[in-house]
Amino acid sequence: MTLRTVFFWLHLSAGVVAGAIVLLMSVTGVALTYERQMIAWSDRQFKSAPAPGIERMTVERLVDEFRRQNPGQEPTAVTVESGAAEPVAVSVAQRTVYLDAYSGRVLGTANQGIRQAMSKLRAWHRWLAVEGPGRAAARAITGWANVLFLFIVASGIYMWFPRRWTAGTVKAVLLFRPGLRGKARDFNWHNVIGIWSSVPLLIVVASAVPISFPWGNALVYRMVGEAPPAGRGAGRGAAAGEAAAGRGRAAATSVDGLSPLLAQAKLREPDWRTINLRLPSAPGAQVVFAIDRGDGGQPHLRSTLTLTRAGDVVSYESFDTLTTGRRIRNVMRFAHTGEVLGLAGQSVAGLVSAGGVVLVWTGIALALRRFLAWIKRRSQELEPASVRQPAA
């Protein structure tokens, strides 16, 4: 048995075992490709109304206006954007409310329909939408299916290349051949899509392992000689989770003196695009600013600034200040979705996810044809000779 034969049967077996789960993750991955853009599009009607001579309201006034218009609702975070017509987003409980940056008028609540739809798709993508005690087992199933998919892609890189390198054999696996039907068509599609999507698909699948398993997360750090951080969520992006921090607090937050601190955060990163301010829960509490110079999915353009109420810097954490392990881990999180490379990266990730759908479909079709052909040969071998070759 040759090495290629061994890889073939391992490749085929992994596809049969994990095929259905990989197909589901690929389909939902395609649907989630432009999640952030779709959510932003759903809230596109919320705009501030800038006018000559009118300045933005201070954070203190905005929060006071929100409280006045929404009695009994206490905000936990405020997000400002650099665009003149962009609204201010106020986080409260499980909602986001948009305010006019110049008048403080409430513009409306963020669209919940698209967010809930994306949340359900993520639930199917990550843990088969299982709730309750069974979620851990479902997450393990998708995680190990992804590991098998990683092996399928890696072994496929070897399997998809022709045995002999000639112009004809290379062309056969690099280009679609029109007019093919059945097995020949599936084989051609499987090879061509596999070859062209192999490298980005390998990145998308491999970067999901640290997300799925604590040991995968720890492996990233150990590979560069670092001790894994304590806790499953440690090592995430510097700004991750800031918008949701403190969600559910009932006590009134102290906002006096926040405007000078926000101005200091803007000066720290002059090309900022969004700044999230977690509202402190006590007059003397430190103030945390999550500053983003990118589009929300680029960890190398994120930073976190923590100030005292007097304006003294407690800490400043940017991508450059992180350890090598944390940099790799943060990049891997957004390499999985392609967001680390912006819209182009997202598009590539979406395309190779769609390619994954075709790879699974054609792979299973080829496996079924092989299985049915084996059954036919087996039944013929078991037939009596008189039945196989009737007398003349």
Whole-Å CA distances, 294 to 332, 342, 349: 17, 8, 18
The helix/strand/coil state of 242 is coil
pLDDT at residue 390 in the model: 58
pLDDT at residue 249 in the model: 47
177 sits in which H/E element: none
Burial class (CB in 10 A: 0-12, 13-18, 19+), 331: middle
The helix/strand/coil state of 255 is coil
The segments of the chain whose pLDDT lies below 50 read: 233-250
pLDDT at residue 162 in the model: 75
DSSP 8-state code for residue 274: E
pLDDT at residue 159 in the model: 83
What value does the mean pLDDT of the chain take? 91
Contact 320, 268 (CB under 8 A): no
- Nearest one of 245, 251, 221 to 304, comparing CA atoms: 245
pLDDT at residue 248 in the model: 45
226-264 per-position pLDDT tens digit: 999 886 544 433 333 434 444 444 456 778 999 999 999
pLDDT at residue 363 in the model: 95
DSSP 8-state code for residue 70: S
pTM of the model: 0.86
Half-sphere CA count of 198, side-chain side, radius 13 A: 19
The helix/strand/coil state of 49 is coil
